[in-house]
Amino acid sequence: MDKIKEIQAKIEAKEKEGKELVKAKKFDDAEKIKAELDDLKNELKAEIMFMKDDESHSLVAQANLFSSAEALNSGRQNGQTVASFGGAQPEKKLSASKEYLNAWAKDLRGDKLNEQEREVFDKVNNEFQAAFTHTTENTGILIPDTVAAGIWKQIEEDHPLWDDVTTTRIKGNLSYTKGLGATNTKDWYDEATETEDTELQFGELNLTGCELSRSVSLSWKLRAMAVEDLVPYVQEQLATLLGQALSYAVYSGKGKPSGTETFKPEPQGIRAALAAQAEKPQIETYTSLKYENLTAAMSKIHSKYANGVTFYADNNTVWNVLANLVDQMGRPLFVADVTTGGVGRIFGRTVKVDASIDEGEILLANLGQGYKANVNQDISIVTDEHAKKRKVEYVGYAIVDGGVIDEKAFAILTDEV
């Protein structure tokens, strides 16, 4: 271990020497130092791999030390890219800083910010609001990155439908090309036969953003709770409300209004997309669910999506319908299994419970390939005071959109006539 510490000390000294040479504009000498550094780092890795003292025989110790050496060798340390000679360390986002979290939490409680806190708070939110076109209805306060990450994590844990969707975080509008099929045949040709034209047909999925807003109400008395209690409470409540809306949208969202329709824009849900198809080829109706209904639904999935299919249903449908199904030999189709991220398996495919799906309906879906979603604007929050009622409302706001990219990645079993 002494040898390792000695090499690490040499590396630090050489890095310092290299930076000084760069400042003095002695670039040729700096290049020589860089070469010496590479040799030292390789020596460090070799020493770690072949160390003989008792403590180092621990596999955990060797793994940790080797990881450190690899980080040094690749120019990374503690998950951050290490600056090269004369370069600056990457600047940490202010919205992810502890200073902003503390200032945001105090503002959440209605406490007065000191001068330093106000400076951090205003800087983050001025930049945030400048990045988007806001109105008086949607101007909000950016939630600290750590709190927002906690909200998204809880949403994903509580709602498998949203968790399994391929989600991007791109500001502004986003478009995907949807393949609608082609007119080509499977025929082969001889020399005398002219090749038939193949006409590829495409549609487009435009994710322009839909406003998502949910409110958490607290009495003034409750708002006076300690910051360490208030922040997790608001985070949990917003995650619950926003998660319900997002999961609903993935399955049942109505999409954008057209013609004389007047409803508010929502992401396009899978059920809405399948129901809009002529003759609804991806929807299988049943009266009393049987083995044949499941195989018929599986047959509707395009073969390129079949291996990634998951079954989704609400808790009642999973345990009172799917769990009691048997095949033609009387053997149970449902196998309880929590190791795959769901509650069981059917046909080797995972079964997951999601309350957003109507009772009696079963969704077969390859969400990763068949559905796209984009968070155009991350979660912000508006505080709305009600003095007469002595309460405050925390209104969570985000801009999200989503839609089906290929209907053949889905099938729905429904007991609706």
Q: What is the pLDDT of residue 37?
A: 77
> Which two three-digit tokens encode residue 330?
């009387």
The secondary element (H helix, E strand) that includes residue 43 is: helix 27-50
Q: What is the pLDDT of residue 213?
A: 87
Q: What is the pLDDT of residue 301?
A: 95
Alpha carbons 67 and 60: distance in angstroms, whole number:
10
pTM score above 0.75: no
Q: Is residue 197 a contact partner of residue 182, using CB atoms and an 8 Å limit?
A: no
| Mean pLDDT of each 10-residue bin along the chain, 417 residues long | 73 80 72 75 64 47 51 47 46 80 86 89 83 53 86 92 91 74 54 54 76 85 77 88 93 87 89 92 92 94 93 95 89 88 92 94 95 90 81 87 94 85
Q: What is the pLDDT of residue 218?
A: 83
Q: 398 to each of 2, 139, 246, 378, how far by Cα in Å? A: 54, 11, 11, 5
- Amino acid identity of residue 414, one-letter, is T
Q: What is the pLDDT of residue 324?
A: 92
